C-alpha cells in the first residue's frame, strides 16, 4: 500500500464515519474510532465519556507556558498528549484508518499517511443526523453550525492549521457524490493503483 | 454522464490545468481554458490579453450601486458579466471542462455540474512553475502567495464564497497524489461509475 495509514476528518452528519468504516473493511485494516477512545481512556486515565466529547468542550489552556510537566497541564492538554501518543503507537504498529482527533497533524512527519476530509451540504447533514442517527434537536442548523465551530476550534488550537480547509488534506469529498463511490476512490488512492 | 460539466479551480503551479486537459481528453469533451478566453474577448470586446489576466488585477467596483446599466459598470464587472454569459452558453450546448473563472458559481443552479479544486504543497508548485512553466521570478514563494491572494480576492468578490475552501467543491485533490490518478478519479465521478 502506498498509504498504509488513512486519517479521516469529517463534518458531523456528513457520513464520514461510515466512509471510514467501509474503507477499513475494504482494505482489511483496523478502524480506530470507538477503539481509539478506549485506548486513549486507558492511556490517560480519563473516563471514556470524557475522552469521547473532547472536541466538544472549550479549550482552556490559556496559561500553557506556566505548566512545567504534563501532570500540571489543563485536562484538555493532558488528554491531547495521551491521544497523540496512542495515535502514534497504533499507526506505527499496523495499517489503519483513524477518525478525527487531529490524527493528520499528529502524524505530519510521516510521508505515507493519506489525509482525507468529508463534508456535505447542510440539508443532507440535517437529514442524516435526524433520520439516521436519530438525534433530537430543536434547531438542527444551529446545532450543526455549533458543532462545526467546536471541531474547528479544537483542531485549529492544537494544529495551528485550519479544520476543513483544502490545503490540510490530500483528498476532500462532498458525500453528495455517494458514500460507496468515495470509499472506492479512497481505497484506490491508498493502494496507489 | 452523471456530471456532463466539470469546473476545475486550481492554485497556480498545482498542475490543475494539466488535470483539466487530461480529463477533457479522457472523456472526449471540450476543454474551455484558452478557448474560453477567446470567446469572452469576442463577447466583451476586450482584448484577449486583458481577459486573460482578469483575476490578476485589483477589483475596483466599490461603487457598484451607482451604475445603472452594464455599459456603465467598471471594466472588471463588464468582463465578469460577459464571462458568465459565455460560460452559461457553452455549458448549455455540450459536455465540457471549464478552468477557473468562477464557473462553479456561475453554474450554481445546475445539479449536474461537478466542481473540483486542485492544490499542491508550496515546494511542488515552485518546482513546477520554475522547471515546467519556465517562469522566471526573484522570489517564487512571494509570487505564488500573491497569486493565491489575487485569485481568492477575485473569486470571493464575485461569488461571496471562499476560494479553495472544501465546502465550495465536490472534490479537492492535492496533486502530490499524481496527476494521472486524479484524472482517473475525476473521470470516474463524472461518469457516475
pLDDT digits over A88-98, tens only? Answer: 999 999 999 99
Number of domains observed in the structure of chain A: 1
Cell of A62: 490559556
Q: Cβ contacts (< 8 Å) between B166 and chain A: which residues?
A: 117, 119, 164-166, 169, 172
Chain A: nearest CA to B21, how far in angstroms?
Answer: 20
User: Residue B127, Cβ neighbours under 10 Å: how many?
Assistant: 14
The answer to whether the CB atoms of B188 and A185 lie below 8 A apart is yes
Which pLDDT score is estimated for B59? 52
Find the Cα–Cα–Cα–Cα dihedral B155, B161, B162, B168, rounded to 10°. Answer: -110
Where in the sequence is the domain holding A69, given as residue range(s)?
5-191
Checking if the pLDDT of B8 tops 90, the result is yes
Which pLDDT score is estimated for A34? 84
Checking if the pLDDT of B65 tops 50, the result is no
Checking if the pLDDT of B85 tops 60, the result is yes
Q: Which of A119, A170, A181 sits opposite B167 (nearest CB)?
A: A119
Checking if the pLDDT of B60 tops 70, the result is no
SS3 A25: helix
Which pLDDT score is estimated for B62? 45
Name the residue with higher pLDDT: A8 or B73. A8
What are the 10-residue block averages of pLDDT along chain A, 193 residues in total? Answer: 95 95 97 87 83 64 49 77 91 94 93 96 94 89 92 89 89 96 97 86
Q: What is the CATH number of the domain that holds B162?
A: 3.40.50.300
Close Cβ partners of A76 (under 8 Å, ≥ 6 residues apart): A54, A57, A59, A60, A61
- The count of CB pairs under 8 A between chains A and B is 59
Separation CA B138–CA A24 (nearest Å):
46
Q: Cβ contacts (< 8 Å) between A166 and chain B: which residues?
A: 117, 119, 164-166, 169, 172
Q: What is the ipTM of this complex?
A: 0.88
SS3 A98: strand
Find the Cα–Cα–Cα–Cα dihedral A30, A32, A37, A38, rounded to 10°. Answer: 0
B117-137 mean pLDDT: 92
Q: A172 burial class (0-12, 13-18, 19+ CB within 10 angstroms)?
A: buried
Of residues B86, B63, B161, the one with CA closest to residue B117 = B161
What is the rounded radius of gyration, in angstroms, for the C-alpha atoms of chain A? 17
Q: Which of B119, B181, B184 sits opposite A167 (nearest CB)?
A: B119
Cell of B47: 482584448
Cell 497541564 found at: A73
Amino acid at each position: 500500500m502506498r498509504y498504509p495509514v488513512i486519517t479521516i476528518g469529517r463534518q458531523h452528519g456528513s457520513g464520514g464515519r461510515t466512509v471510514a468504516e467501509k474503507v477499513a473493511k475494504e482494505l482489511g485494516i483496523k478502524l480506530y474510532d470507538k477503539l481509539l477512545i478506549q485506548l486513549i481512556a486507558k492511556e490517560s486515565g480519563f473516563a471514556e465519556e470524557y475522552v469521547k466529547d473532547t472536541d466538544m468542550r472549550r479549550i482552556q489552556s490559556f496559561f500553557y507556558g506556566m505548566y512545567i510537566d504534563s501532570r500540571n497541564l489543563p485536562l484538555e492538554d493532558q488528554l491531547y498528549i495521551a491521544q497523540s501518543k496512542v495515535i502514534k503507537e497504533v499507526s506505527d504498529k499496523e495499517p489503519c484508518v483513524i477518525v478525527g482527533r487531529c490524527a493528520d497533524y499528529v502524524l505530519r512527519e510521516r510521508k505515507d499517511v493519506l489525509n482525507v476530509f468529508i463534508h456535505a451540504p447542510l440539508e443532507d447533514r440535517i437529514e442524516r443526523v435526524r433520520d439516521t442517527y436519530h438525534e433530537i434537536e430543536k434547531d438542527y442548523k444551529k446545532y450543526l453550525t455549533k458543532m462545526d465551530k467546536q471541531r474547528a476550534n479544537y483542531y485549529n488550537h492544537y494544529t495551528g492549521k485550519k479544520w476543513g480547509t483544502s490545503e490540510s488534506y490530500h483528498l476532500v469529498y462532498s458525500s453528495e457524490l455517494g458514500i460507496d463511490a468515495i470509499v472506492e476512490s479512497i481505497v484506490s488512492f491508498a493502494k496507489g493503483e
